[in-house]
Structure 1
């Protein structure tokens, strides 16, 4: 599960947005499910952009999050079979830029940050037409657990793509690439970049409470 991440427009984030060719993000601090976030999409070839989205993929008929289903995450093992996600995985992939991710287990929390200065969470997005208003929603793809995160979060691993790999990012955002099998190898839970895990005070408190641990890429 990825239940929170945080966004600061620092030097690392500016490098990420420059590499992706989009405008700078706003510093919004901790983002939680059903809050508004900024995502990177490419709805048309060579029309990459930063846009607002609600972090909850499935809305009800009134345009509110459908809390019957926890769709702020999209599990990798259901991407190809779920009626909600299988079409989106073909043609509505996005990135959720973040300074880091917050993960917890047994009421102990850690921030996960990258040596690259920012992370690019792989996600899906969906368009809704509610009356005269068009709404965009998003979810973070989660993958199987990684043994390096034992004691930190053992249920799943958020999909964190290497945003410095230009070919990978171009493929991920390419709206003409509809063969989603091309991304199956990314859904293993492996760490694509080195990660630093830092103990923090709580799910909504980034104050450090212990020594960081550096985790190498797989």
Structure 2
């Protein structure tokens, strides 16, 4: 799963945006949690653009927004069958740029947070988006897609966000491509070697917006 992530305006995220032809910069933020507003990249008028969205998908057909159901992640296995996800999956796809994400592992009865980074690049998480409401009440929202963990990642968790390689991003964003033709991108894979840092549990509280405090040298996966 993916329940917290960090974004840093640094050479890695700038390189991701430049690769997509985006001149804007990301805002540095730590310990981003579901229901918060985040920056995503989607295709508008044939080109990638940055847009702010709520990280908690609200289907356009619901009568009113709510958080009764967990809608910040969307399982890859049910994208085509879920009433909430199947329409966005067809043509309303985006990516969530991230510098790292947090995952928890139970160790000796204690939940240990791990800060997970790509060794030399920013993440591009596959996501879907939807639009709700009209006029002043209207907003966009999104969900990060998760899939089964790779054998290497299972040491941390049995699910992982779908992490797109750079050369697959444009294909994922293209609204002319049917979601059903992108199933190969949703398979468990890693876009590169991961660095996994055991971190201080200060980050367990989503109100704490400081950078993760790493407790040891990273373990490498991938």
Q: TM-score, structure 1 length as denominator?
A: 0.89
1:132 aligns with 2:136: yes
Aligned equivalent of 1:18? 18
Aligned to 1:67: 67
What is the CA–CA distance in structure 2 between the aligned matches of 1:175 and 1:149, rounded to whole Å? Answer: 30
Q: Please list every run of 5 or more consecutive structure 2 residues that lacks an aligned counterpart in the other structure.
A: 205-210
Give the equivalent residue in structure 2 for 1:211: 217
Alpha-carbon distance in structure 1 between the residues aligned to 2:143 and 2:18 = 23
In structure 1, the residue matched to 2:187 is 188
Shift of 1:110: 0.8
Cα displacement (A) at 1:20 = 1.5
RMSD: 1.7
Q: State the alpha-carbon separation in 2 of the partners of residues 44 and 87 from structure 1.
A: 20
Which of 124-133 and 70-79 deviates more?
124-133
Aligned-residue offset at 1:30: 1.9
Q: Which runs of 5+ in 1 are unaligned?
A: none
Greater shift in the superposed pair: 71-80 or 16-25:
16-25
Distance 2:54 2:85 in 1: 16
Name the CA distance, whole Å, in 2 between partners of 1:157 and 1:194.
Answer: 14
Please give the alpha-carbon distance, in whole angstroms, between the structure 2 residues aligned to 1:172 and 1:141.
12
Q: Is the 8 A contact 2:130 2:142 kept in 1?
A: yes
Say whether the 8 Å CA contact 2:93–2:126 is kept in structure 1: yes
1:141 paired residue number: 145
Deviations along 1:61-117, whole A, 9 cap, x unmatched? 44x4x2211000000111010011111111011010000111112211111111233
User: Aligned with 1:208: secondary structure?
Assistant: coil
1:122 matches 2:121: no
Partner of 2:35: 34
